[in-house]
Amino acid sequence: MKYAILNTSDINTVDFSKVKQADANSVRKTLDGSKFVVKFEGDTPNFLDGVTLYTNQEMIEIFWNIDNGWQLIEEED
């Protein structure tokens, strides 16, 4: 699984048929709502070209660091 963090202003650029989230309402957002994360498997979707990609472990570390602005979560697979 691969992950990407995007600005919420870019949510309309997401092709939800290429990621695990069903739609804009199902993405995880930062506490202030300024960023969101998508996850996908396989080839990187075109709309994520040039975006930093993260592993599962990296995302867990980002989510658990309160300074990053994400709500604390349980570990995902």
What are the domain boundaries of the chain? 2-68
- The whole-number pLDDT of residue 67 equals 85
Is the pLDDT reported for residue 72 higher than 80? no
Q: Give the pLDDT confidence of 14-42 residue by residue, as tens digits.
A: 999 999 999 999 999 999 999 999 999 99
Exposed (0-12), middle (13-18) or buried (19+): which is 39, by Cβ within 10 Å?
middle
Cα dihedral sign, 65-68-69-70: negative
What is the pTM assigned to this prediction?
0.88
Backbone angles phi, psi at 3, to 5 degrees: -130, 155
Q: Give the pLDDT confidence of 60-71 residue by residue, as tens digits.
A: 999 888 888 887
pLDDT exceeding 70 applies to what percent of the chain?
Answer: 92
Neighbours of 75 (CB within 10 A): 10
Is the pLDDT reported for residue 77 higher than 50? no
